[in-house]
Amino acid sequence: MFDNIGKKIKGLAKVFCVLGIIFSVIYGGWIMIKGFNSPGDDLFFKGVLILVAGCLSSWLSVFLLYGFGELIDKTSSIEKMMAYEKAKKEKEEAERKLNEQKQAAEENIVICPNCGTKNDCEDYYCQKCKTKLR
- Burial of residue 59, with CB atoms counted within 10 A of its CB: 0-12 exposed, 13-18 middle, 19 or more buried: middle
The whole-number pLDDT of residue 1 equals: 66
Cα 65 to Cα 28: distance, rounded to the nearest angstrom = 25
The whole-number pLDDT of residue 55 equals: 93
Whole-prediction pTM value?
Answer: 0.60
Task: Give the chain's end-to-end CA distance (angstroms, integer).
Answer: 52
Q: Is the pLDDT of residue 88 over 70?
A: yes
**pLDDT tens digits, residue range 28-61?**
999 988 888 877 678 888 989 999 999 999 999 8
Sign of torsion over alpha carbons 82, 86, 91, 93? positive
Cα 58 to Cα 113: distance, rounded to the nearest angstrom = 63
